[in-house]
């Protein structure tokens, strides 16, 4: 079994689109048309990403301990996604760099949150 798609809650889907267009666009995702208040993004065979208001009518909020990581193709894409997040209302959770910080190869990522508090990561591996 593989992941088909992931949804992230947003209090205002249309207001969230500039953030997600920029961030997901930086790592190769494209948004389809709005459909019934949902925005879906796709990339090749990667799981789709849906942005929607929570079905239960409660406030959208980031899940404690939940994070979605998007695989990038390069260090430049990681930095572009991070910069796009911060330029579009996101908050910093860890600037681009190797993890652990003293590493010079391996996992290279950046962490940020959207306006609803969802924690996201863009990463690549060398």
For residue 92, tell me if it sits in a domain.
yes
Q: What is the pTM of this model?
A: 0.90
For residue 74, tell me if it sits in a domain.
yes
Q: Quick one: pLDDT at residue 63?
A: 85
Q: What is the extent of the structural domain holding 121?
A: 5-53+66-125
Instruction: Grade residue 35 by pLDDT with cuts at 50, 70 and 90.
Output: confident
CATH number for the domain spanning 115: value is 3.10.180.10
- Per the structure, how many domains does the chain have? 1
For residue 60, tell me if it sits in a domain.
no
| pLDDT tens per residue across span 6-25 | 999 999 999 999 999 999 99
Query: What is the DSSP track for 69-101?
Result: EEE-SSHHHHHHHHHHHHHTT-EEEEEEEESST
For residue 59, tell me if it sits in a domain.
no
For residue 40, tell me if it sits in a domain.
yes
């Amino acid at each position: 079994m593989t992941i088909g798609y992931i949804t992230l809650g947003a209090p205002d889907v249309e207001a969230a689109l500039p953030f997600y267009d920029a961030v997901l666009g930086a790592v190769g995702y494209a948004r389809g048309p709005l459909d019934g208040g949902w925005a879906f993004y796709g990339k090749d065979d990667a799981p789709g990403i849906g942005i929607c208001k929570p079905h239960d009518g409660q406030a959208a909020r980031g899940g404690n301990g939940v994070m979605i990581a998007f695989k990038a193709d390069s260090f430049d894409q990681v930095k572009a996604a991070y910069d796009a997040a911060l330029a579009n209302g996101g908050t910093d959770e860890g600037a681009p760099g190797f993890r652990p910080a003293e590493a010079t190869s391996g996992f290279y990522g950046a962490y940020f949150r959207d306006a609803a508090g969802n924690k996201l990561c863009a990463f690549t591996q060398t």
